[in-house]
Structure 1
Amino acid sequence: MTELDTRVEVIPGEALLERLLDHVPAPAVVSVTCLPHHGPVQTVETAVRLAGAGYTVIPHLAARSVGSRRELAGHVRRLQDAGITDTFVIGGDAGRTAGPYTWSGALMEDLADLTGGTMRLGIAVYPEGHAGMPGDELLRTLWAKQELASWCVTQLCFSPEILAAFPDRLRRDGVTLPVWAGIPGPVRVSRLVKLAGTIGVGQSVGFLKRSAGGSNTGSVVRQLLSSTSYDPSPLLGAIDGAGYAGVHLYSFNDLAGLADSGLAGRTG
């Protein structure tokens, strides 16, 4: 298998830096989420701290969680002062829009303006479509955003076939950005099933449940409630030679398990 560069996605939390140093040492590339209950302030603070410890950091900024352009400018100054050069821009799942940014494209425009275009911006792409957006509308937003973007990451997808075909599909649709394959680390299967239902990854949920149930391992239900960890090797095999720029590992902060798997061995 071709060895692809790897990024590790983490969630802001207690003792995160210490756990990273123990299991995924610097100068690994670490992507820091921006969840509604954390918000951009905690994401930026975490990113700055990790950068200070020698990590290459890519913070997420969720458009609907940013209260104003002035607030955004403050986040940008802190990130630039820490030497951070990439940001992953999403719309976010906040139920209420905190400020003027109703979608990620608007935030990208202001980020480009505030940084003079020096900040590299990443966007999300969707191998199985977007639950809240028809396919033609989703494609139009991707065309618009790629003018300001430098790379993209796939939404979590459990189907090797869909993931393997996705870069070629993007190219046919006119999206030419480098694509990073979003792949779960060896996390408990029950947690992945719960997450899949929350974010709406369609037919991949069925694939994940089927993959959990082998003839010698009991019922699917028992396995999903057990400590069985998801095996990402079929996904890694599927993306080999498929045209991906690298692997974006969703760690769900199971950093010890990720280290034991050896998946985070090469970062870039």
Structure 2
Amino acid sequence: MTRSADPTTSVDDIVRNSSIEIIPLKGAQEKAAAVPAETTVTMTCSPKFGLSRTLDHVAAARRSGHRVVPHLAARMVDDRRALRDFVRRVTDLGVDELFVVGGDGEEPVGRFREAAEILEELGEFDHGLSRLGIGCYPEGHPKIADDMLFEALLRKQQHADYMVSQLCFDASALAGWLRSARDRGVTLPLRIGVAAPLQIRKLIELSVKIGVGRSVRFLSKQHGLVGNLLLGRAYEPMELLLALGEEMSFADFSVEGLHLFSFNQVDATLDWLFRAGGAEEAG
């Protein structure tokens, strides 16, 4: 379950309050079922598979006893009726939280182009959801200017309850962005988006693909990366979290937990969480 930050929030606290992102690909239902029931699963959506695939995997995860947060991409919603139908179907499954994003599609399938429009529409009816999350971009967006991103974030926070940061490997960049966001009036609690353990070569490929090239360039400068890359070793996020803990107070900046981008490497993610004290050992 998600919970709010408190004055004693530490690296251990935010690790214990982790959610694991899963992509609804083949085999993802079994991967979600392996996650301990007390750890929240978030289920993505994409133009390639459509909202029906997301709903199928949300239903399967609920059947296996998990708390699930579906992602909803604005550009994948046809119209107001489709939005209400999606919300009705997830709440019927016992879902009480939704993560709203703009989406990666070049062209929207219907009237919605950005997350703010979905959030505003959700405010027009009794949706039954108790918590709404949105994304944020500590290292910017390849297609949107930083000032526009902050303006959009301020608009969206009127309807949202928390934000999740895009994948980042640079503690100083993330801490600096969060200070700037707080100074600009962004008050939403933050769930830090970090890469779960993954082979460094694959992590670099995926990170470039999802548009966080600037952070990858930072990662590429780190001592020992080339040697680890050649040896096929995996990236782990603890060094980043410890560095963040030195840069800022998690409590003072309302950091409530982690959002682990697993890239469906769920076994490795659970192993790291167990070693870091954030989950029970997987059965």
TM-score by shorter chain over 0.5:
yes
- Structure 2: distance between partners of 1:239 and 1:92: 28
What secondary structure sits across from 1:101 in the alignment? Answer: coil
Q: Is the 8 A contact 2:154 2:185 kept in 1?
A: yes
Q: Deviation per CA, 1:66-98, whole angstroms, max 9, x where unpaired?
A: 112111111111111111111111111112210
Question: CA shift at 1:168, angstroms?
Answer: 2.4
Question: What runs of 5+ residues in structure 1 fail to find an aligned partner?
Answer: none
Distance 1:172 1:25, change over 3 A: same
Q: Which amino acid aligns with 2:189?
A: P
Matched residue, 1:149? 160
> Please, which of 26, 40, 48 is the counterpart of residue 14 of structure 1?
26
Matched residue, 2:278? 265
Q: Is the 8 A contact 1:112 1:119 kept in 2?
A: no
1:3 aligns with 2:3: no
Q: Is the 8 A contact 1:29 1:57 kept in 2?
A: yes
Question: What runs of 5+ residues in structure 2 fail to find an aligned partner?
Answer: 1-10
Question: CA shift at 1:19, angstroms?
Answer: 2.5
Matched residue, 1:171? 182
Q: Which amino acid aligns with 1:10?
A: I
Matched residue, 1:33? 44
Task: Compute the TM-score of the two structures, normalised by the length of structure 2.
Answer: 0.85
Distance 1:264 1:39, change over 3 A: farther
What secondary structure sits across from 2:220 in the alignment? Answer: helix
Matched residue, 1:183? 194
Distance 1:106 1:100, change over 3 A: same
What secondary structure sits across from 1:182 in the alignment? Answer: strand
Q: Is the 8 A contact 1:160 1:234 kept in 2?
A: no
Matched residue, 2:3? none
What secondary structure sits across from 2:71 in the alignment? Answer: strand
Matches within 5 A, 1:46-85: 46-85=57-96
Question: CA shift at 1:117, angstroms?
Answer: 6.8
Q: Deviation per CA, 1:186-219, whole angstroms, max 9, x where unpaired?
A: 11111221122223324311121123x52xx8xx
Question: CA shift at 1:265, angstroms?
Answer: 2.6
1:231 aligns with 2:236: yes
Q: Is the 8 A contact 2:270 2:279 kept in 1?
A: no
What secondary structure sits across from 1:245 in the alignment? Answer: strand
Q: Is the 8 A contact 2:36 2:279 kept in 1?
A: no
What secondary structure sits across from 1:100 in the alignment? Answer: coil
- Structure 1: distance between partners of 2:230 and 2:80: 45
Question: CA shift at 1:32, angstroms?
Answer: 0.6
What secondary structure sits across from 2:124 in the alignment? Answer: helix
Question: CA shift at 1:46, angstroms?
Answer: 1.1
What secondary structure sits across from 1:61 in the alignment? Answer: strand
Identical-pair percentage: 37
Q: Which amino acid aligns with 1:238?
A: A
Distance 1:107 1:225, change over 3 A: farther
Q: Name whichever of 44-53 and 86-95 sits farther off.
A: 44-53
